[in-house]
Amino acid sequence: MRDPVEKPAGSQPWPCLGIAAACLLLPSAPPRAAPAPIIAWPVAQYNPNTLPDDLILPLPCGGAMAFRPVATGKSPAGAAGLAPELQRLYGVVGRFDPYRTGIGHLLIGKYEVTRLQYQAVAAAARGLACPSPDARSALPQAEVNRRDAEGFGLDLSQWLDGRKDKLPDCTAGLTPCLPRVDGVAATVRLPGEDEWTFAARGGLAVSAADFAAPVYPMPKGLARTLIGKREGGSAAAPIGGPRANPLGLHDMLGNVEEIMLDLYRVEGATGEIGGYVVRGGSFYSVPGEIAVTLRREVPLLNKTSDTGFRVVAAVPIYTSTRRMAEVQQQGTGGPAPTLVPEPAPPVAPTPAIAEPQTGLPAGFREEQLALPEPPPAIAEAQTRLPFEPEMVEVPGGSFDMGCSPGDGQCIDNEKPVHPVSIRPFRMGRYEVTQAQWQAVMGENPARFRGAERPVEQVSWDDAQAYIKALNTKASPAKPYRLATEAEWEYAARAGTRTPYWWGQEIGTGNANCYNCGSRWDDKETAPVGSFKPNAFGLYDTTGNVWEWVQDCYHERYAGAPSGGSEWRDDCLSAGRVLRGGSWYNLAWYTRVSHRFRLTPAYRGGRLGLRLAQDL
Tens digit of each residue's pLDDT (9 = 90 or more) over 115-154: 999 999 999 999 999 999 988 999 999 999 999 999 999 9
Contact predicate 457/466, CB 8 Å: no
Per-residue pLDDT, averaged over 179-207, amounts to 94
Contact predicate 497/490, CB 8 Å: no
Band the pLDDT of 572: cuts 50, 70, 90.
low
As a whole number of angstroms, the distance between CA 152 and CA 302 comes to 17
Contact predicate 178/164, CB 8 Å: yes
Contact predicate 203/248, CB 8 Å: no
How far is the first Cα of the chain from the last one, in angstroms, to the nearest whole number?
Answer: 44
For the chain, what percent of residues have pLDDT higher than 70? 80
* 1, pLDDT greater than 80: no
Alpha-carbon torsion (89, 93, 99, 103), positive or negative: positive
Triad 162, 56, 507: Cα angle to 5°: 95
Alpha-carbon torsion (588, 463, 199, 319), positive or negative: positive
Band the pLDDT of 360: cuts 50, 70, 90.
very low
Contact predicate 276/256, CB 8 Å: no
* 569, pLDDT greater than 70: yes
Q: Per residue in 50-107, pLDDT tens?
A: 888 899 999 999 999 999 999 998 888 889 999 999 999 999 999 999 877 788 999 9
DSSP secondary structure string, 530-568?
A: -S---TTS---SSBSSEEEEEEEP-SS-TT--SSS----
What is residue 254's DSSP assignment?
B
* φ, ψ (nearest 5 deg) of residue 43: -60, -25
Band the pLDDT of 28: cuts 50, 70, 90.
very low
For the chain, what percent of residues have pLDDT higher than 90? 60
Band the pLDDT of 321: cuts 50, 70, 90.
confident
* 323, pLDDT greater than 70: yes
Name the amino acid, one letter, at 475: S
Contact predicate 427/610, CB 8 Å: yes
Between strands 546-552 and 607-608, the pairing is parallel
Could you tell me the pTM of the whole model? 0.56
User: What's residue 351's pLDDT?
Assistant: 33
Band the pLDDT of 338: cuts 50, 70, 90.
very low
User: What's residue 269's pLDDT?
Assistant: 60
User: What's residue 69's pLDDT?
Assistant: 94
User: What's residue 247's pLDDT?
Assistant: 92
Helix, coil or strand: residue 296: strand
Q: C-alpha distances in angstroms, 384 versus 311, 395, 430, 536?
A: 56, 21, 15, 20
- Range with lowest mean pLDDT among 245-249, 332-336, 502-506: 332-336
Band the pLDDT of 272: cuts 50, 70, 90.
confident
Contact predicate 599/607, CB 8 Å: no
Band the pLDDT of 349: cuts 50, 70, 90.
very low
* φ, ψ (nearest 5 deg) of residue 223: -65, -30
Q: Higher confidence at residue 276 or residue 272?
A: 276
As a whole number of angstroms, the distance between CA 95 and CA 182 comes to 10
As a whole number of angstroms, the distance between CA 8 and CA 154 comes to 26
Contact predicate 298/306, CB 8 Å: no
User: What's residue 244's pLDDT?
Assistant: 85
Question: Nearest CA to 459 among 89, 52, 74, 99?
Answer: 74
For the ranges 22-36, 72-86, 241-255, 416-430, the one whose mean pLDDT is highest: 416-430
Contact predicate 315/186, CB 8 Å: yes
Question: Nearest CA to 593 among 413, 420, 473?
Answer: 413
What is residue 80's DSSP assignment?
G
Q: Which H, E and C letters describe 82-117, residue by residue?
A: CCHHHHHHCCCCCCECCCCCCCCEEEEECCCCEHHH
As a whole number of angstroms, the distance between CA 229 and CA 249 comes to 21
Helix (H) or strand (E) holding 480: strand 480-482
As a whole number of angstroms, the distance between CA 399 and CA 495 comes to 8
Domain extents in the chain:
11-214+311-320, 375-614
User: What's residue 575's pLDDT?
Assistant: 84
Band the pLDDT of 331: cuts 50, 70, 90.
low
Per-residue pLDDT, averaged over 361-365, amounts to 34
Q: Higher confidence at residue 564 or residue 331?
A: 564
Q: Per residue in 31-45, pLDDT tens?
A: 344 566 789 999 999
Helix axes 115-126 and 146-161, enclosed angle (nearest 10): 60
As a whole number of angstroms, the distance between CA 268 and CA 276 comes to 18
Residues 6+ apart with CB under 8 A from 6: none
User: What's residue 576's pLDDT?
Assistant: 92
Per-residue pLDDT, averaged over 281-302, amounts to 85
As a whole number of angstroms, the distance between CA 53 and CA 303 comes to 34
As a whole number of angstroms, the distance between CA 439 and CA 299 comes to 63
Band the pLDDT of 336: cuts 50, 70, 90.
very low
User: What's residue 598's pLDDT?
Assistant: 87
* 547, pLDDT greater than 70: yes
Say whether domain 375-614 belongs to CATH 3.30.1330.10.
no
Q: Which H, E and C letters describe 415-440, residue by residue?
A: CCCEEEEECCEEEECCCCEHHHHHHH
Band the pLDDT of 543: cuts 50, 70, 90.
very high
Per-residue pLDDT, averaged over 524-541, amounts to 96
Band the pLDDT of 218: cuts 50, 70, 90.
low
Contact predicate 578/549, CB 8 Å: yes
Band the pLDDT of 214: cuts 50, 70, 90.
confident
Alpha-carbon torsion (522, 526, 529, 531), positive or negative: negative
Helix axes 460-474 and 434-441, enclosed angle (nearest 10): 70
Contact predicate 531/388, CB 8 Å: no
CB atoms within 10 A of CB 442: 8
* 198, pLDDT greater than 90: yes
